[in-house]
């Protein structure tokens, strides 16, 4: 067991060093902030490195590991055909594709689909999750390592609108949120074997948020934050043990973000919390601002500013130290189901009208570029090595300066 944990720890350390990669929903560290700059303009003929056709449907984000781009999709009249695709990053050629049959419930609202959760990687394997509660582990060459149909173990764990919580992998544990109105749970799965290590009974309410990394002073102190209608719990990834919690409720749609030892939670507007000093197992409120109301998009923090987008398409910027709003900026028409990402001093977001929008954060949120792809986009973009990756149901684009 000690040898396995040491192996997992070395993978975690290697993962933290590979910051230019984008290994999961909102990046390797789930911050939505890239370490490399991305193009600030593009068109159908400018700065499009390549595009690739996709099967079926998909809301999940692309992830980038080394020189490969990984993506999931689902197809068929019942959305019961599950796809994992791997593209060559330089040319966009399809290197391999694996397909599986769904074993769980595939019914979802027409806006979403079975391939809504974003896959994750520890740098050696790909973990793909679907609304049907099917969890697939492949190596980077597409060889099946293990498959878990979680509906076999938890037949009542479902959501009539469709599940969309993305995975996280930390210290050799794949953490899957299967939170719903009936048999609601979050589980920790051994990344090497697919065996369940622990299970938490969770609030019985549909939940579409995703887990987030909390980096400790040492790797042994790393935690994972789980958000729900009840609030936030900080758990040890190897055991699922709760280390501290915030119990005053939170949204079940946009996810929190962590920056500089503070978690910014969509709760009563936005509530900034950190571990308590006098009572370590109870979170301390740093500030709470009821006038900051995120819509579907998750939060992002950059250079001591908190950014959020309302359902009305208004970008707000607030001081991360105090919560005081500094400015608002109306974005071009279109609902933003995907979350914003930041590279340099620019914020990128794509909306359901198919528009890619670039915002200058040094000029009070001025929109400096927009381009329509002509296809509805609901995913959150990925950024790696100076390139921006975004997908619709039918197309995956790589946007990079030529």
**Contact criterion met (CB below 8 Å) for 113 and 79:** yes
Mean pLDDT for each 10-residue chunk of the chain (402 residues)?
A: 46 49 96 93 95 97 98 96 98 98 92 95 98 97 98 90 94 97 96 98 96 95 97 98 98 97 98 94 97 96 97 97 97 94 97 96 97 96 96 97 80
Q: What are the Cα distances from residue 288, in Å, to 245, 271, 292, 293, 307?
A: 16, 4, 9, 11, 15
- What domains lie within the chain, and their CATH numbers? 33-400 (2.130.10.10)
φ, ψ for residue 193 (rounded to 5)? -110, -20
Structure-token pair, residue 229? 């209608």
Question: How far, in Å, CA of 257 to CA of 263, rounded?
Answer: 6
pLDDT of residue 19: 53
The secondary structure of 234-296 as a DSSP string is EE-TTT--EEEEE-S---SSSPPEEETTEEEE-SSSEEEEEE-SSSTTBEEEEEEETT----S
pLDDT of residue 281: 95
pLDDT of residue 320: 98
Burial class (CB in 10 A: 0-12, 13-18, 19+), 85: buried
Go through 26-35 and write b for each residue having 16 or more CB atoms within 10 A of its CB, e for each that does not: bbbbbbbbbb
φ, ψ for residue 129 (rounded to 5)? -125, 150
pLDDT of residue 35: 85
Question: How far, in Å, CA of 200 to CA of 20, rounded?
Answer: 33
pLDDT of residue 7: 47
**313, β-bridge pairs:** none
SS3 14: helix
Question: How far, in Å, CA of 144 to CA of 184, rounded?
Answer: 28
């Amino acid at each position: 067991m000690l040898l396995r944990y040491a192996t997992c720890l070395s993978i975690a350390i290697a993962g933290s060093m590979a910051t230019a990669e984008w290994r999961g929903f909102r990046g390797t560290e789930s911050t939505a902030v890239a370490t490399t700059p991305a193009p600030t303009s593009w068109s159908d003929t400018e700065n499009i490195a390549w595009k690739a056709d996709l099967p079926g449907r998909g809301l999940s984000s692309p992830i980038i590991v080394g020189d490969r781009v990984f993506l999931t999709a689902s197809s068929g009249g019942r959305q019961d055909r599950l796809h994992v695709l791997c593209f060559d990053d330089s040319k966009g050629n399809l290197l391999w594709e694996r397909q599986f049959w769904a074993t769980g419930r595939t019914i979802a609202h027409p806006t979403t689909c079975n391939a809504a959760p974003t896959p994750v990687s520890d740098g050696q394997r790909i973990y793909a999750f679907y609304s049907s509660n099917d969890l697939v582990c492949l190596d980077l060459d597409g060889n099946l390592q293990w498959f878990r149909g979680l509906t076999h173990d938890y037949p009542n764990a479902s959501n009539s609108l469709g599940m969309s919580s993305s995975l996280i992998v930390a210290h050799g544990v794949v953490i899957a949120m299967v939170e719903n109105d009936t048999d609601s749970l979050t589980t920790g799965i051994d990344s090497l074997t697919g065996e369940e290590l622990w299970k938490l009974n969770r609030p019985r309410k549909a939940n579409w948020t995703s887990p987030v990394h909390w980096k400790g002073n040492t790797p042994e102190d790393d935690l994972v934050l789980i958000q729900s209608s009840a609030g936030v719990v900080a758990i040890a990834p190897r055991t699922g043990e709760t280390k501290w919690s915030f119990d005053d409720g939170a949204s079940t749609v946009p996810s929190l973000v962590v920056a500089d030892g503070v978690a910014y939670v969509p709760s009563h507007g936005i509530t900034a919390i950190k571990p308590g000093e006098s009572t370590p197992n109870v979170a301390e409120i740093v500030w709470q601002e009821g006038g900051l109301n995120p819509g579907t998009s998750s939060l992002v923090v950059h250079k001591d500013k908190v950014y959020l987008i309302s359902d009305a398409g208004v970008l707000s910027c607030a001081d991360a130290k105090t919560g005081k709003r500094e400015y608002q900026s109306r974005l071009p028409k279109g609902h933003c189901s995907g979350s914003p990402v930041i590279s340099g001093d620019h914020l990128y977001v794509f909306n359901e009208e198919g528009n890619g929008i670039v915002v200058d954060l040094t000029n009070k949120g001025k929109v400096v570029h927009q381009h329509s792809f002509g296809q509805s986009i609901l995913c959150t973009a990925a950024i790696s090595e100076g390139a921006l990756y975004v997908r619709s149901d039918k197309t995956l684009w790589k946007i990079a300066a030529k």
